[in-house]
Amino acid sequence: MQSISNPSFKTLTTADPSHHHRRRCRNYSLRVLSDLRPSLAGGIGNCRSDFRSSCAILSSKVFLSQQQQDSSSSSSDSAGDSSSASSAAAAAAVNGHVSLDLVPVPVPDQSLLPKPLTIADLSPAPMHGSCLRVAYQGVPGAYSEAAAGKAYPNCEAIPCDQFEVAFQAVELWIADRAVLPVENSLGGSIHRNYDLLLRHRLHIVGEVQLPVHHCLLALPGVRKEHLTRVISHPQALAQCELTLTKLGLNVAREAVDDTAGAAEFVAANNLRDTAAIASARAADLYGMQVLADGIQDDSSNVTRFVMLAREPIIPRTDRPFKTSIVFAHDREGTSVLFKVLSAFAFRNISLTKIESRPHRNRPIRLVDDANVGTAKHFEYMFYVDFEASMAEVRAQNALSEIQEFTSFLRVLGSYPMDMTPWAPSRCD
């Protein structure tokens, strides 16, 4: 057997004066070994590593027993104290540990360990209106945030700095829904979002109409005669042009990205010569005072928002539905648009909106006629909203007929109409 080289140990011989003491230790070792036999027979000593572990345990017990006996026999003199210290050092030399723990196992911090997945991590998105993550364009206090709260009560509203970011938030599963404006009763269509509807593959799953109530906001203590400019969204400035003139505010108008962002900008920069047109909620959020309430020129100022999702909803017939489509044609003449309108009129389907937008991929079409020469015509995409559900046979037949003489047809969504009553905005 290979000897262990350790300066703390002495080679044991029969001529050692403490030979009788070593015999007692040997006898104790035999007793410990007899105690370990049942466990060894159970399979612990089947490999070399298990055998070495058992020997280490045996050696630790032998030296601890020697330490206890030496300390009890030599407690009356200083020689016994030095012998006890040397025994303790010898015991500490066994595997480098004082205790019987051969391999120290560190206890990890439970808070730093990764948590296992639960069924909640693998579950689908929540149902309609239940803790949904809804993206909107603007900052807190914007009208889009109010529309998101009306469409999905108790939702988690996620502000986005641009309309396209809201689309991407839904596509990348950062948000479950997006609520974006598409038209206003005074300012007309928001063309940017119509172009994004065609570019992205989201589906319209609902609509919500929100009355717009504009307020003139300024920092606390600022009076109207001290103002030199008014900032807000371009449509908000246009919707309040007459009222601002009546208030005697012949000041500069400056357009920014959104209404609530204008209020935030004035408050963050402490602009005491600038007012913002925004909602009353924006005044509460950013600590501003309302100089004038209800400054929109028309009290029937309503913005229509659409709710977007990754998957379409199943159309129904038990409640009023609206369907939005977009199509294009590459044939000459104006009869194609007439045929499309006739397909709806023949089936008594009412159209609520028709909007044309230039075809981005093919903005111009060349026509070569021998009689009139070469002419250039603009190519258009047509957006149509009609009051019918795709679950109805008449709507299916209308789209089947339209598909025959159009080069492109896509259903943007078939969704419930917003039938909630609303009251006109308060006047000043």
Structure confidence at residue 299 (pLDDT): 82
d(CA 390, CA 44): 73
Encode burial over 294-327: b for 16+ CB neighbours within 10 A, e otherwise.
Answer: bbbbbeebbbbbbbbbbebbebeeeeebbbbbbb
Q: What is the pTM of this model?
A: 0.65
Ranges of residues in the chain with a pLDDT under 70 are 1-130, 330-334, 360-378, 422-428
Long-range contacts of 16-19 (CB under 8 A, 24+ apart): none
Structure confidence at residue 22 (pLDDT): 55
| CB-based contacts of 259, cutoff 8 Å, min separation 6 | 138, 141, 142, 143, 214, 232, 233, 236, 276, 277, 278, 279, 282
d(CA 212, CA 301): 6
Contact criterion met (CB below 8 Å) for 131 and 156: yes
Question: Fold match between 134-210 and 215-293?
Answer: yes
User: Superfamily assignment of 312-421 in CATH?
Assistant: ACT domain (3.30.70.260)
**Dihedrals phi, psi of 101, to nearest 5 degrees:** -75, 105
Contact criterion met (CB below 8 Å) for 136 and 180: yes
Structure confidence at residue 303 (pLDDT): 93
DSSP class of residue 233 equals -
Structure confidence at residue 3 (pLDDT): 43
Of the listed 305, 327, 344, 382, which one is catalytic? 305
Structure confidence at residue 65 (pLDDT): 63
327 carries an active-site annotation = no
Domain map of the chain by residue range? 19-96, 134-210, 215-293, 312-421
303 carries an active-site annotation = yes
- What is the CATH number assigned to the segment(s) 134-210? 3.40.190.10
Of the listed 303, 323, 327, 406, which one is catalytic? 303
- What is the CATH number assigned to the segment(s) 215-293? 3.40.190.10
Give the containing element (helix H, strand E) for 356: strand 351-358
Contact criterion met (CB below 8 Å) for 324 and 413: yes
Structure confidence at residue 405 (pLDDT): 85
